[in-house]
Amino acid sequence: MVYKNIFIIFLFYFFLNNSHCHYKPFLLDKKTIEIGNFSDNNINISGKSISFEFKKKFENFILKHTPWNFVKKGGNIHLSGDFIDYKIIKKRNPKLKFIKMTVKIYCKDNLNPEKNWEKYFDIVESFSQQDNFPLENYLITEKIINNLVSQLYNKIFNNW
């Protein structure tokens, strides 16, 4: 019985190390992603870093939805960005306002440089007149960050 197990392990090892194996990349080569710096210098939020919250939520989202590994340096994909601006938009309905946040994201594909891109994302969320200033309101900030995470995830991972 022990010889049988050793033989099976040997065959599996040989199978994985065989240079003609077509399954090797799927079993051993796991893509990596590096999340770089995100700045929110232009966004004045009292006591809260929206870029820190975004980075944390984005990492958690990737961990839940993809098999990719995070690395500190040298990932297959490198992401970074800047929170550029936000505006409060008043509509005809005086009880409802919108906040529009603009974020510039840089994506560098170290394996396929032709897939590099930078893109502006506009995230729009509504809030009522009774809410406090929207960026100080935790629920509105959460909605903005979740919306951005979803948009960015779809942009990146629909290409792979």
What pLDDT digit, counting tens, does each position of 1-29 carry?
A: 666 666 566 555 555 554 444 443 444 46
Rounded distance between C-alpha atoms, residue 41 and residue 38, angstroms: 9
Between residues 81 and 49, which one has the greater pLDDT?
81
CB within 8 Å of 111: residues ≥ 6 apart: 76
Tens of pLDDT, residue by residue over 24-63, are: 344 446 789 999 999 988 676 555 678 888 888 988 998 8
The per-residue pLDDT for 26 is 44
Q: How far is CA 157 from the centre of its chain?
A: 9
Q: What is the model's pTM?
A: 0.69
- Given this model, what pLDDT does residue 28 score? 47
Give the mean pLDDT of the chain. Answer: 77
Backbone angles phi, psi at 125, to 5 degrees: -135, 145
Burial class (CB in 10 A: 0-12, 13-18, 19+), 79: buried
> In terms of pLDDT, which residue wins out, 48 or 150?
150
